[in-house]
A and B are shown apart, each in its own frame.
Chain A
Amino acid sequence: MSILTCEKCGITNYLDPYTFWDYEGNFKCAGCGELYYVKKVNGQLKEGPSEARGTEFRQPGYAEKREGNNFTPMNEAGKVSPPAKARADFQGKPIDMEKNVRGNLVAGRPLKPEELKGGIWKKILE
Chain B
Amino acid sequence: MKNWGFKIAKPRIIDLDTANTKAFEELCEKVPSAKRCIMCGACTATCSAANHTSFNFRKCNIMFRRGQFEGLAEELDKCMFCGKCKLVCPRAVNTRAFIYNMRIFLNDLNYKNIK
The judgment on whether A and B are partners is no
